[in-house]
Structure 1
């Protein structure tokens, strides 16, 4: 199990200032108006098992307690339990599992004010460990990870005084299918993350049929059970996908913008804020309207593109981070050559180049609403599988069929 920084960045900056959209590393403004601070200490989460599978399901609610910043877990009643100290060699964590519902059944637990994850596993409990720095998350791109042969997945959420942000995520892997939802004060329910009929098997079939090594992302158990498909960045890390799989596209982008300008308008609510990118040598420089260089990027490798980090690092600032997020989306969706004004407003032109993030393409194509978290900044342009409400009445996680 690796303690390596996870690409699904679950983090929160100070409460009532900004709220993290889990899985994105992006923050949105949140009002401190006390009228909006009416979210109760916990809200109900109804967990429904429509998987059609017979194995025992185990549920976990792990995260950071926002009132104290402590890491820990919540039991079915939403009561917080801090993790004990870890070790320099990671030690087993306390058993935080909650027995989940049988096929065709539902159960309701309570979500506290966390920034965290709701894990679920089929047939076996997950093996969590504690290091000196805190909880070590499963990292199944590592063949020696103790969770490698367990069928599991997770949803991410932030619940705070400004509301609930709950997503389905494919940033790290596509595995056991599920969808999420939130009930609004008027009784309506917003849902996302549900695959089309045949979408689960179709996704894996599409990866296996895609030339260039994409089928190597699929992991199976010795009994033949399909466990997951690794996200392409993790696939590169594991040696399952060629490290240069995006190089041709990156090279063509570099060539194009050596003689033309890439215009980035990173904030939809601030259309006058624009940055202008031009390539010189091995560097793409971005200037503001006054012609001043505000940030520069070296030519990214495939892993930087898929992970939206390293050479495409995106700090939580007002310049480099927003530009980098926009570039990351453009590279993954392969729109930088077809549209010099980014981000692209329409999904109609996404993933059309032969060199693209075929993993993200395949999962988006198979979602009922077309939305997914196929990479960390899939929220650029609001293409992510996220539900939000400022006064959530109830949350939902539904385990869907494996068809």
Structure 2
């Protein structure tokens, strides 16, 4: 759903790697402390003028229910129907941020903070046009800061708040977002994503031609509960799970970052966590086949380990053993998808990585993927305890906790929490936990 800049202006590892021997404590900085990566940018490829209007073609109503005991601001960012960067202004029109060729982040200073009413109230906004790669951000008791920078292709990149950078200007703010894309051809797709972090609890519901759909999200105390469970898991297995928690200077939990983000700033973390499990998987499937249900026209494909690679029938290339960071992110090592990969390869990657994250490959019945239901996920160690605890606290078990959390057996419910409708009428987002 996201469109990323190809420019990398820095790495979090060089900035904060030394600070991660304990739960991460934020120390917000200025624009000079912004670190730009593929994970916190969304870009347009052409230069645009500083336009402040748009000809409305499809106006989507968004209801925002505030259940938080404090002030909350909302922000809407994305790409308009012409793939230009937009940020919603308080007057209901798009602002088109323009870096004007700047190679360092420039703050967006327009009226883009949309204040919600007090606790228990509902605030309604209307998007003036279609939107893609969109996010609706919510910030509790503070303001989020967005920046724009030249993308290197003649356009501008929106630089979003970073959940993992403790010196990001927005680091001390309790925030979260939902993702959405609403197009003329395909309608509305929206989801709650915890792929990068868990922050301010959000839930949502979608009304449209398909009726009412909901993804309830997390309860109000979810961050503290997940941090407590991660600390207990770290005490149990000696892995740095508790270091995924980000706190303010007083030790109050703000968010929990995903192990993929943590590994990007501490490459030694979890380095041997999956080693024995991976070796056992390779051993098992060197003597019996692993069946991948591609859930596309290729149907079931048989995969067997030979010469150190997991080779699947009809696939254009085999899979080497992954390392921990490959499993967390599902987009590197054997799980990186290249331009020339065929449809079988593109189908195997998400199903194989999901099986590792959920630790189902060695279970009875795990020789078919996806095949086992959600009750079998995360039942053995090693596993993705970050994802396990998120789903444990989700009120309906739905919401992305790793990149391929939408992989499910045929006929099973979608654990990703994605909502979609070809003819949407309104999207409702609840902030700060469910309504009582």
TM-score tier (shorter): 0.7 to 0.9
Alignment of 1:27-46 (within 5 A): 41-46=58-63
Match of 2:233 among 196, 210, 220: 210
> Helix, strand or coil: the match of 1:251?
helix
User: 1:166–1:181: 8 Å Cα contact kept in structure 2?
Assistant: no
> Which of residues 383, 402, 411 in structure 2 aligns to 1:356?
383
| Cα distance in 2, alignment partners of residues 74 and 9 from structure 1 | 17
What secondary structure, in the 3-state scheme, does the structure 1 residue paired with 2:276 have? Answer: helix
**With structure 2 as the length reference, what TM-score do the two structures score?**
0.78
Q: Tell which deviates more after alignment, 139-148 or 297-306.
A: 139-148
Paired residues of 1:248 and 1:355 also in contact (CA < 8 A): no
Is 1:126 the counterpart of 2:144? The answer is: yes
Relative to structure 1, the CA distance from residue 154 to residue 259 in structure 2 (aligned partners, 3 Å threshold; closer, same or farther) is: same
> Structure 1 pair 370/150, CA: closer, same or farther in 2 (3 Å)?
same
Residue in structure 2 matched with residue 110 of structure 1 by the alignment: 126
User: Cα–Cα, structure 1 residues 143 and 214, in superposed 2: closer, same or farther, change >3 Å?
Assistant: same
1:81 pairs with one of 90, 95, 100: 95
Maintained 8 Å contact 1:182/1:387 = yes
* CA spacing shift, 1:275–1:148, aligned 2, 3 Å: same
Pairwise CA RMSD: 2.6
Query: Corresponding residue for 2:191?
Result: 167
Distance 1:306 1:10 in 2: 22
- Greater CA drift, 150-159 or 244-253: 244-253
Q: Aligned pair 1:392/2:410, yes or no?
A: no
Give 1:24's aligned residue: none
Rate the CA distance shift 1:380–1:11 in 2: closer, same or farther, 3 A.
farther
The partner residue of 2:292 within 253, 259, 264 is 264
CA positional deviation for 1:401: 3.5
Consecutive unaligned residues in structure 2, runs of 5 or more: 1-33, 45-55, 152-156, 409-413
| Conservation of the 8 A alpha-carbon contact between 1:260 and 1:278 | yes
Structure 1 CA distance, aligned partners of 2:260 and 2:337? Answer: 16
Note closer, same or farther for the CA distance 1:244–1:236 as it changes in structure 2 (3 Å cut): farther
Question: Residues of 1 paired with 2:331 and 2:227: CA distance?
Answer: 26
Task: Decide whether the 8 Å contact of 1:46 with 1:394 is kept in 2.
Answer: yes
TM-superposed deviation, 1:197: 7.8
Question: 1:233 maps to what in 2?
Answer: 260
**Residue in 1 aligned with 2:277?**
249
Partner of 2:367: 340
Alignment check: 8 A CA contact 2:199 2:255 kept: yes
CA shift for structure 1 position 300:
1.1
Summarize the Cα distance change of 1:189–1:306 in structure 2 as closer, same or farther, 3 Å threshold. Answer: same
What secondary structure, in the 3-state scheme, does the structure 2 residue paired with 1:295 have?
coil
How far apart, CA to CA, are the structure 2 residues paired with 1:144 and 1:195? 26
Structure 1 Cα separation of the partners of residues 309 and 174 of structure 2: 42
In the alignment, structure 1 segments of 5+ residues that lack a partner are 13-38
* Conserved 8 A contact 1:308-1:314: no
**Which residues of 2 match residues 279-290 of structure 1 at below 5 A?**
279-288=305-314
Within 1, Cα distance between the matches of 2:87 and 2:404? 27
Q: 1:74 and 1:46 mapped to 2: Cα distance?
A: 15
> Does the alignment pair 1:135 with 2:158?
yes
Contact 2:223–2:255 (CA under 8 A) maintained in structure 1: no
1:224 aligns with 2:251: yes
- Count the aligned residue pairs: 366
SS in 2 for 1:152: strand
Separation (CA, whole Å) in 2 of partners of 1:335 and 1:11: 37
Q: Kindly state the Cα deviation for residue 198 of structure 1 after the two structures are TM-superposed.
A: 5.9
Superposed displacement of residue 379, structure 1: 0.5
Do 2:270 and 2:324's aligned partners in 1 also have CA atoms closer than 8 Å? Answer: no
Aligned-partner Cα distance in 1 for 2:275–2:142: 40
CA distance in 2 between partners of 1:255 and 1:138 (Å):
43
Evaluate the alpha carbon distance shift between residue 350 and residue 94 of structure 1 in structure 2; reply closer, same or farther with a 3 A threshold.
same
What secondary structure does 1:326 align onto? helix
In the other structure, the counterpart of 1:50 is: 67
Distance in 1 (CA, whole Å) between partners of 2:57 and 2:379 is 45
Q: 2:83 maps to what in 1?
A: 69
Give the Cα–Cα distance (whole angstroms) in 2 for the partners of residues 315 and 160 of structure 1. Answer: 27
Cα distance in 1 for partners of 2:277, 2:249 equals 36
- Tell whether the 8 Å contact from 1:231 to 1:359 is kept in structure 2 after alignment: yes
* SS of equivalent residue, structure 1 residue 148: coil
Structure 1 stretches of 4+ moved >3 Å:
8-12, 196-201, 314-317
Alignment match, 1:310:
332
Q: In 2, are the aligned partners of 1:152 and 1:176 still within 8 Å (CA)?
A: yes
